[in-house]
Amino acid sequence: MTDRGLTSRQGTLAIVAGATSAGAQHGPGPSPAVMPTYARQDLVFARGEGAWLETEAGERYLDLASGVAVNALGHAHPRLVAALREQAGKLWHTSNLYRVEGQERVAERLVELTFADRVFFCNSGAEACEGAIKTARRYHHVNGAPERWRIITFEGAFHGRTLATLAAGGNPKYLDGFGPEAPGFDHVPFGDHEALERAVGPETAAIMIEPVQGEGGVRVVPDQCLKGLRDLCDDKGLLLIFDEVQTGIGRTGRLFAHEWAGIAPDIMAVAKGIGGGFPVGAFLATEAAASGMTAGTHGSTFGGNPLAMAVADAVLDVVTEPGFLAEVQQKTSRFKQALEGLRDQFPDKIAEVRGQGLLMGLRLVPGLAPPQLVKAAIEERLLLVGAGDNVVRILPPLNITDEEIGQTAERLMRSLERLPAAAAT
């Protein structure tokens, strides 16, 4: 407590020496001890169940953000809780110097369920994307084309916040002030086929893309384009990398979004939903694409730890149950109908309904901004999440009930009523 005086002079702390009440020891509002890199809502949740989050005071919010597509099975799913509890009493960590049973099991399941032959486990989406990038570069390095190391990515993309994934995403706002951008990424406009073909050169190693841009504003890449990318990569000897960190694990109504297009990548990054709220990431590759990733080329202290693997295994149990994904598709239709209805009802506020599966977005008309709707929804005890392209994302847990979909539509309607009519443009 000796250094508290340093911050209290900023007038932001109201410390009562020896305060013992639950919660942080400072005045109302967020603690200045936490680095203020997020524009947070002033909301603290104490517990969650299914699609619901509850404050200490017992106020219940309908969570249609799912921790930004992370709590794919809602909060405190009994099977996930049981899996974590059971593993927690047995073994947490052994380092990757030894075989990890859970890792082998989850990897084999993923191999069984996807195009991939090899899986590396990490802890986050950015790490998964970094690993995917490294895998692509190493592939060419060990296959006689070390000059191929550049990756083509798309404007509006989001691949994470590490130095390489920031450079991959290319968002100038996120890159500002962090020194020279990591080299090796060529950005092309979203949906510009000619620019894409022009960008392919003798140094190109791979094309990396989200099948649906999440942070970028729920921009769906048409199946035709994904097929076109596959053909282009095959033609030019490039690897195709899909970032399915947000779209994977059932979010779009298939286990992975690219399945809708009937093609497969060479490498894929996965995270978010696969841990159902526990930090788990992974990158997957075909045997050929993974050929450079030999002993010593990559590592992670925590990646694939027994706790993470126990939860991922349980998540896979649930999402691969017969009928689970069909139900996600049915819920998608219900949502779509409700959202289209709201668009008809509020043409002066909603410009467009977007999405694939339960990765949905409302694009607002010019003059309205996503934070306005997010804020209005909080007033209605509904949690949404903003995105680029003037879009508000709706990311329910995949097992949301029909009744909760109805409640969402009602709360959304009342939230939209709270918005001012946008100035005519």
Q: Which residues bind ligand PLP (CB under 6 A)?
A: 124-126, 129, 158-160, 210, 214-215, 243, 245-246, 271-272
Distance, CA of 170 to chain centre: 17
Q: Cα(282)–Cα(280) distance, rounded to whole angstroms?
A: 7
5-35 b/e with 16+ CB inside 10 Å = b? eeeeeeeebeeeeeeeeeeebbeeeeeeeee
Tokens, residue 404: 């909760």
Residues belonging to the chain: 425
Q: How far is the CB of 20 from ligand PLP (least distance, A)?
A: 35
Query: What does DSSP assign to residue 276?
Result: B
Residue nearer to ligand PLP on the CB measure, 289 or 359: 359
Least distance to ligand PLP, CB of residue 159, Å: 5
For 407, phi then psi, to 5°, come to -65, -35
Q: Measured from the CB of residue 1, what is the shortest distance to ligand PLP in angstroms?
A: 33
Cβ closer to ligand PLP: 213 or 408?
213
Our CB check for ligand PLP shows the closer of 215 and 404 to be 215
CA 229, CA 208: separation in Å to the nearest integer?
Answer: 10
Q: Which is nearer to ligand PLP, 309 or 405 (CB)?
A: 309
Q: Give the residue with the Cβ less far from ligand PLP, 32 or 388.
A: 388
Shortest Cβ distance from residue 149 to ligand PLP (Å)? 21
Quote the least distance from Cβ 416 to ligand PLP, whole Å: 26
Q: How far is the CB of 392 from ligand PLP (least distance, A)?
A: 16
Least distance CB 48 / ligand PLP (angstroms): 19
Taking the complex as a whole, the smallest distance from the CB of residue 284 to ligand PLP amounts, in Å, to: 14
Q: In degrees to the nearest 10, what's the CA dihedral of 267, 218, 160, 179?
A: 120
Chain residue whose CB lies nearest ligand PLP: 125
Residue whose structure tokens are 């969650």? 48
Q: How far is the CB of 243 from ligand PLP (least distance, A)?
A: 5
Of 229, 224, 182, the closest CA to residue 209 belongs to 229
What value, to the nearest 5°, has the Cα angle with vertex 27 and ends 26 and 29? 105
d(CA 221, CA 88): 40
Instruction: Report CA Rg, the chain.
Output: 22
| CB-nearer residue toward ligand PLP: 243 or 404 | 243
Q: Phi/psi zone of residue 69: left (φ > 0), alpha (ψ -120 to 50 degrees), beta?
A: left
Q: What are the C-alpha distances in Å from 405 to residues 327, 333, 391?
A: 13, 11, 20
- Smallest gap from Cβ 406 to ligand PLP, in A, equals 28
| Cα–Cα distance measured from residue 89 to residue 352, given in angstroms and rounded to the nearest whole number | 49
Nearest to ligand PLP of 116, 342 (CB atom): 116
Q: Which is nearer to ligand PLP, 210 or 389 (CB)?
A: 210
Phi then psi dihedrals of residue 145, to 5 deg: -135, 60
Three-class secondary structure of residue 388 per DSSP:
coil
Judged by beta carbon, residue 129 or residue 368, the one nearer ligand PLP is 129
Task: Give the residue with the Cβ less far from ligand PLP, 48 or 216.
Answer: 216
Task: Looking at 237-294, list the stretches that DSSP marks H as alpha helix, in order from N- to C-terminal side.
Answer: none
